[in-house]
Amino acid sequence: MVQIDAATRPVTLLGWPIEHTLSPLIHNTGFRKQDLNYLYTASAVPPELIGEAVTGLRALDFAGANVTIPHKEAVGRYLDDVSAEARAVGAVNTIVLEKKGEERRLFGDNTDVAGFIEPLSPLRERIQGSDVLIFGSGGAARAVAYALLRGLAPSRLTIAARSPGKAERLADDLSPYDSGDVLEVRSLANARPQVRASRLLVNATPVGMAPDTEGTIWPNVDDFSAEQVAYDLVYRPRTTRWLREAGERGATTIGGLDMLIAQAAASYRHWTGRDLPEEAVRQALRTRTPE
Ligand code: NAP
* Amino acid 182: pLDDT: 98
- Evaluate the CA torsion angle 136, 188, 230, 157 in order and state its sign: negative
Strand partners, 169: none
Backbone angles phi, psi at 64, to 5 degrees: 160, -160
Tell me how far the alpha carbon of residue 255 lies from the centroid of ligand 1, in angstroms.
15
For the segment 89-131, what is each residue's pLDDT rounded down to a tens digit?
999 999 999 999 999 999 999 999 999 999 999 999 999 999 9
Residue 72 falls in the annotated catalytic set: yes
Of 222, 264, 259, residue with least CA distance to 238: 259
Enumerate residues 6+ apart whose C-beta is below 8 A from 233: 116, 140, 144, 202, 203, 204, 256, 259
Confidence grade of residue 2 (pLDDT, cut at 50, 70, 90):
low
Contact 111, 65 (CB under 8 A): no
Confidence grade of residue 163 (pLDDT, cut at 50, 70, 90):
confident
pTM of the model: 0.95
CA atoms within 13 A on the CB side of 225: 8
Gap between the terminal Cα atoms of the chain: 31
For the segment 164-200, what is each residue's pLDDT rounded down to a tens digit?
899 999 999 999 999 999 999 999 999 999 999 999 9
Average pLDDT, stretch 59-68? 97
212 residue type, one letter: D
Residue nearest to atom 13 of ligand 1 (CA): 205
Residue nearest to atom 43 of ligand 1 (CA): 140
User: Is the pLDDT at 29 greater than 90, yes or no?
Assistant: yes
* Amino acid 19: pLDDT: 84
Tell me how far the alpha carbon of residue 140 lies from the centroid of ligand 1, in angstroms.
7
3-state helix, strand, coil in the chain (%, to 5): 45, 20, 35
Percent over 90 (pLDDT), the chain: 94
Tell me how far the alpha carbon of residue 232 lies from the centroid of ligand 1, in angstroms.
11
The active-site residue out of 33, 72, 100, 166 is 72
* Ligand 1 pocket, Cβ-based, cut-off 6 angstroms: 112, 115, 136-141, 161-163, 166, 204-207, 209, 233-235, 256, 259-260, 263
* Amino acid 289: pLDDT: 77
For the segment 11-22, what is each residue's pLDDT rounded down to a tens digit?
999 999 998 899
* Amino acid 80: pLDDT: 98
Of 141, 258, 259, 162, residue with least CA distance to 132: 141
* Amino acid 25: pLDDT: 97
Tell me how far the alpha carbon of residue 42 lies from the centroid of ligand 1, in angstroms.
22
